[in-house]
Structure 1
Amino acid sequence: MDSWLDHWPWWVQVALVILLLVISAFFSITETSMMASNRHRLRHLANRGNKGAKNTQDLLSRTEELLSVILIGNNVVNTIVPVLLGAIALHAFGNNATVLSISTGVSAVLIIIFCEITPKVIGATFPERIAMWVSWIIKPLTVLLKPIMWLINVFVSALLKLLRINTKDTKHSQMTRDELRSVLLESHFIPHKHRNILLNFFNLEEIQVDDVMTPRARVEVLDLSRPIDEVIHQLETCYHNKLPVFDEDSDKIIGILAVRKALSLLGDEELTHEHFREILSPSYFIPSGTPVLQQLQYFQENQERIGLVVDEYGVVQGIVTIEDILEELIGEFTTSLPDLATKTKWLPDNTYIADGTATLRDLNRLLSLDLPLDGPKTLNGLLLEYLEDIPDNDVSVRLEGVVMEITQVDDQIIKTVKIYRPNGS
């Protein structure tokens, strides 16, 4: 190599080394930018007519060819640079082992700094922008180097067969639900509220109708065995659109009454209980333990908006509506007057007065607590399970780091609980 270098000026030799370093850096920045590019953003740009994005998509669809071109070019250049730099050093400083060692070390430093780390950091910082630019150069190279790639792939395929590795049977790993959840949490291109809705959608697969239903004790029902005047008064003061109806036996729901339709009958002076029975809709029952996402699909398929949750013995446990499920996705609605009082959070003295029938999920969401959800669904049920007895008033307990004081017990049910705000909540 000394013979042909002797005829070249020193600045030409140095320029050749710099050119090779630039080519090596080009292949490094290409590899990183291509692999780090957002496929969805490229697809969006390609659909809008960006030719660079289309080229990049085409190259990424042929990953083996893309990587072959990059690795061939990068490794050939990185092999030539130390040899050329060593020859220049020997020509300038004489044939000496020390000179050769120093030139090899300098080559390694130059390649690591200027051809590996720096270009790859830049490529990872602006992946799509750089990938679309370099694709105009890499795409023709995949055609020019096809014979070389074919020859190399013949040896690679033979080696893989020798190692009994079948790449055709390997399937691309799909993103798991937890991985997708992590992507959403770390994404900055989705608005905060929209991101919360998407995250809540994943939770629908983990919760049951029992977690979102209104418990039986808090459900307003209509008893048609009562005098007609009392029935009419209840309908006139009712806040709900629909009411479950029973006749004497409170455990046997005979149908669902649309309040608006019932109010249209109130002008009739000869109004009787039978008029209300005639406009009842059949009850729609939901087995306890039904997943919320599955129930949302059932509501859609059956064109229902309200259902009665029943246990294995057919006893009504509560009521769930399509609005209850939607609240899990987009947050609670504020159109129901009785629920407005529950929007108040911590009081100035860092306490909260909770109803014993309040669900643990609502309390966790409203007060940023971490009460257990794998057992009882209500605050009353949680306290009774923990105490294993019906307590008297003014009993205090600590659960999951939360101090709670039972302030009112009535009819074997904990009616009111004062919750003390935990430190850091």
Structure 2
Amino acid sequence: MSDQSNIIPLTRLRALLHGSSRYSARTVESIRTRVRLCQQNPSLHSGEDLGRRPPKSHAGGGRNVTLFLELLGVAALILLNAFFVAGEYALVTARRTKIQELAEEGNRRARAVQKIVADPPRFIAAMQLGVTLTSLGIGALGEQALARALDPVLATVLAVVIAFLIITYLHVVIGELVPKAVALRYSERIALGVSAAVRGFFVLAYPLIWILQSSSELILRVLGLESPGEEREALSEAELRMLLGRATEYGEIEREEQEMLYKVFDFADKEVADVMVPRPEVVALSIDLPPEECLAAVIESPYTRYPVYRQTLDDIVGIIHVRDLFSALNDQGFANVRIEELLRDAYIVPETKDLAALLADFRRTNFHMAVVVDEYGTMAGIVTLEDLLEEIVGEIEDEFDLPDESVEHVDDKTIRIDGTYPIDDFNEKFQVELPIEDYHTVAGFVFGLLGRAAAAGDEVEYNGLRFKVIEVEGSRIEKLEVQFVEPPPREQDEPHEERAAAEG
């Protein structure tokens, strides 16, 4: 029937050619071309006359359904890509402490998250496999489907270009950027939500995951690098400081707690010389003093332990505790008490000893005071357990402590301080940056700037601060007046965050 239907158009074409003398040369050539086409492909113009279109078929409807299913598949692949991206970011950035807390409370999904992240190479290989497969599927299926959808209204090349741009845009925005942003914002919640599906993917794609994981570990070993998870996870001090600053900013910890933790970090970096009571301020007792004079000296001072020396402070023979003195005087009377019999051993330490080691020594030996000596064996000062604790918790005052009168506010821009004011305390209180490497007191710093013995009325300037010597005793600066270019702040704001950023 097909062959019979082809006879009609071919016969008519040949008849036209027989009467070609009536047509132009171009028309004749066109008829001959149509004849050749019909002979090569009999299905063309089957059962039709020239100039008539073939009847419409139902193929258009099937084509639309296929196109719809392909586009639906592209959308599913983009969402699946978003799942793998969000899962990877959430599992990597989820706080381990929060997950551990939930796991200890009995949360099964939290325990699943712990098992997933316990093997970083497998976890990374699995998530990258999922992202790669979905990305390839999006590219292969999406561009072809969109190009066919646009081809009827656009030129073929233009349709392909526009399809590529649309697929790339959807892939990057919906499949990458949005899930990453959401995962970073709700990392713990998303990590818990995807844990079961991720573990299921581990099982389904185990062979491919194993191949990728083994290959990456082999290459890392060849390069002499460790696999993820083999290195010890630790944060630097600067990172911890920034985390504490962020926690304080969001109200997770109090400002006082933040300051105490910062001081713990600083504590490990300090030496005995940074916190000791310097020699000129040490209250010591001579071993030759009669008991009644010792008692008078003790009553005038608010301390419980006193170094005892023979002739000079460079010859410390022991430490006397007021409790031992009072007990002996009560039991034996003034006439029978001998100071040397009440002495306890003196603990001698170098001024370069770090505070953490000294604190450990105090805890081990039950000493509460140490005599500090310099590299020449000269007595440089004393340090007590209270001095160490104050470096962490701040000033500890009891009912016998005198009020702090070392800082006197003259006006909004001027203060007066004792020359022995510790330079690191001055920096912290007034938020300035005087060098602390070579000096322990503000008087020592001013003496260094002068380069000679100080006299009352001497003035020096440093970084917008004007120091004026008010009172001198011998070669020692007793009182200083400090003038600020701007009014000195009364409270410390956030010097530690700035220090952490500088260290980072």
Match of residue 177 from structure 1 = 237
Alignment match, 1:36:
93
Check conservation: 1:232, 1:266, Cα contact below 8 A.
no
Inter-partner Cα distance in structure 1 for 2:343 and 2:199:
70
Is 1:150 aligned to 2:210, yes or no? yes
CA offset digits 1:231-252 (Å, max 9, x no partner):
3222233310111122444432
Residues 164, 371 of structure 1: alpha-carbon distance in 2 compared, 3 angstrom cutoff: closer
Is 1:128 matched with 2:188? yes
Q: Is this contact kept in 1: 2:79–2:175, CA < 8 A?
A: yes
1:363 and 2:430 correspond = no
What is the letter of the counterpart of residue 187 of structure 1?
A: A
Distance in 2, matches of 1:53 and 1:424, equals 53
- 1:256 aligned partner: 319
Report the equivalent of 1:115: 175
Distance 1:238 1:124 in 2: 59
Radius of gyration: which is bigger? 2
Give the match for residue 50 of structure 1: 107
- What's the counterpart of residue 274 of structure 2? 211
For residues 331 and 380 of structure 2, what CA distance do their matches in structure 1 show? 35
Structure 1: which 5+ residue stretches go unaligned? none
Closer, same or farther: CA 215–26 of 1 in aligned 2, 3 Å: same
| Corresponding residue number in structure 1 for 2:448 | 385
| Corresponding residue of 2:165 | 105
2:464 matches 1:395: no
Partner residue of 2:389 out of 296, 314, 326: 326
Name the aligned partner's letter for residue 365 of structure 2: N
* 2:365 counterpart of 1:302: yes
Q: How does 1:402-413 map to 2 (within 5 A)?
A: 402-413=465-476
The answer for unaligned runs of 5 or more in structure 2 is 1-58, 489-504
Find the counterpart in structure 2 of residue 193 from structure 1: 256
Say if 2:87 and 2:190, in contact at 8 Å, map to a contact too. yes
When residues 283 and 4 of structure 1 are mapped into structure 2, their CA distance, relative to the original with a 3 A threshold, is farther
Paired with 2:231 and 2:61, the residues of 1 have a C-alpha distance of 51
If the length of structure 1 is used for normalisation, what is the TM-score?
A: 0.90
Q: Does 1:22 align with 2:82?
A: no
Q: Is the CA contact 2:139–2:167 (under 8 Å) kept in the aligned structure 1?
A: yes
> Residue 73 of structure 1 aligns with which residue?
130
CA distance in 1, matches of 2:443, 2:216: 68
Task: Label 1:92 to 1:323 Cα distance change in 2 as closer, same or farther (>3 A).
Answer: same
Indicate conservation of the 8 Å contact 1:327/1:333, yes or no.
Answer: yes
Q: Quick one: distance in 2 between partners of 1:411 and 1:159?
A: 73
1:280 aligned to which of 320, 337, 343 = 343
Decide which moves more: 117-126 or 16-25. 16-25
Distance 1:383-1:298 versus aligned 2 partners, 3 A rule: same
Q: Deviations over 1:75-94 (max 9, x none)?
A: 22222223323333344343
Change (3 A) 1:89 1:183: closer
Task: Specify the code of the residue in structure 1 equivalent to 2:348.
Answer: F
Counterpart residue type for residue 124 of structure 1? L
Within 2, Cα distance between the matches of 1:32 and 1:286? 52
Does structure 2 retain, via aligned residues, the 8 Å contact 1:357–1:415? Answer: yes
**In 2 relative to 1, CA 208–153 (structure 1 residues): closer, same or farther, beyond 3 Å?**
closer
Q: CA deviation at 1:315?
A: 1.9
**Secondary structure of 2:403's match?**
helix
C-alpha separation between the residues in 2 aligned to 1:5 and 1:75? 31
Secondary structure of 1:341 counterpart: coil
Q: Go from structure 1 to structure 2 and tell me whether the alpha carbon gap of 1:35 and 1:228 turns closer, same or farther (over 3 Å shift).
A: closer
- SS in structure 1 opposite 2:432? coil
In the TM superposition, residue 228 of structure 1 has moved relative to its aligned partner by 4.3
Aligned-pair CA distance for 1:348: 3.7
Secondary structure in structure 1 of the residue aligned to 2:468: strand
CA distance in 1, matches of 2:294, 2:211: 89
Q: Is the 8 A contact 1:217 1:357 kept in 2?
A: no
Question: Residue in 1 aligned with 2:477?
Answer: 414
Q: How many residues align?
A: 423
Question: Residue type of the partner of 2:91?
Answer: M
1:213 Cα deviation (Å)?
0.4
Counterpart CA distance in 2 for 1:345 and 1:49 is: 58
Shift of 1:209: 0.4
Give me the whole-angstrom Cα distance separating, in 1, the residues matched to 2:67 and 2:268.
70
Q: 1:86 aligns with which of 124, 143, 146?
A: 143
Equivalent residue of 1:340, what SS? Answer: coil
Q: TM-score, normalised by structure 2?
A: 0.77
- Separation in 1 of the partners of 2:415 and 2:353? 32
Equivalent residue of 1:308, what SS? strand
Tell me how far 1:14 sits from its aligned partner. 3.5
Q: CA 1:110–1:235 in 2, change beyond 3 Å: closer, same or farther?
A: same
- Return the offset for 1:62: 1.6
How much has 1:392 moved relative to structure 2?
2.0
- 2: CA distance between counterparts of 1:47 and 1:344? 51
RMSD: 2.8
Distance 1:166 1:378, change over 3 A: closer
Identity %: 23
Runs (4+) off by over 6 Å? 2-5
Bigger shift: 62-71 or 223-232? 223-232
Q: How much does 1:200 deviate?
A: 1.4
